[in-house]
Chains A and B, each alone.
Chain A
Amino acid sequence: GAVVSQHPSRVICKSGTSVKIECRSLDFQATTMFWYRQFPKKSLMLMATSNEGSKATYEQGVEKDKFLINHASLTLSTLTVTSAHPEDSSFYICSARPLQGSYEQYFGPGTRLTVT
């Protein structure tokens, strides 16, 4: 149980283009989903928290116009990196929280983004 998928697992795009990453909870409903970024040999950095049907809450320093988050349903959240630049290259990971009032998060396998 508590399986989260991400698509794509790897993506290479050209500078200036946009990339969309999907995060799905496969066997549970997630009222809240989280998007993280992870740099090599570093821990997870929370980018934003999204609740189904409402606007995402972004962490300080994260550009909301650059990292667009949509949480359209209880099983799907998307992260769109707009006008990507090489410095946006990173490992992006989503997580989902199954129940309201619960703190446990279940993670997707991650997406490796490379911007050339």
Chain B
Amino acid sequence: EDQVTQSPEALRLQEGESSSLNCSYTVSGLRGLFWYRQDPGKGPEFLFTLYSAGEEKEKERLKATLTKKESFLHITAPKPEDSATYLCAVASNYQLIWGAGTKLIIKP
């Protein structure tokens, strides 16, 4: 059964303290892995698409990487405005299978 698991469920960091969020997946035939950011009361905002193991993408303080079993979202020197829930999804048969998300809180 296709499955996506995100960890940790919540992560509290001090401003400037770098860390990583994990997205583990089992899917029959990966057609893409997606990272989104969601602020409270808003729709998810698209961040990255990764298609193959070894691929990396960067945007400001965020860097996403992909292996055959998992993806990491690295956040470098985060700021309070990076606080949000980060969602990971895997494409299978034209639908996205969603992880439960990691709630990231950056304290000033």
Interface 0/1 of A1-31, CB less than 8 Å to B: 0101010000000000000000000000000
- Residues in A61-116 with C-beta less than 8 Å from chain B: 91, 93, 95, 103-110, 112
Which residues, 56 to 108 on B, are CB-close (under 8 Å) to A? 87, 91, 94-96, 98-101
Interface of A is mostly: strand
CB distance A103 to B96 under 8 Å?
A: yes
* A contacts with B, residue count (CB < 8 A): 21
Residues of A within 8 A of B49 (CB): 103-104
CB distance from B5 to the nearest CB of A (A): 11
Select A110's contact among B32, B43, B91, beta carbons within 8 Å. B43
Distance (whole angstroms) from the CB of A13 to the closest CB of chain B:
19
Size category of the binding interface on chain B: 20 to 34
User: Given A6, A49, A103, A112, which contacts B34 in the complex, CB threshold below 8 Å?
Assistant: A103
Chain B 22-46 near chain A by CB (<8 Å), digits 1 or 0: 0000000001101010000111111
What are 8 contact pairs spanning A and B, CB under 8 A? A43-B101, A95-B44, A103-B31, A103-B34, A105-B34, A105-B46, A107-B43, A109-B42
Given contacts A95-B44, A107-B46, 11 further A-B contacts (CB under 8 A): A6-B43, A32-B94, A43-B87, A43-B99, A43-B101, A46-B95, A105-B46, A107-B36, A107-B44, A109-B42, A110-B43
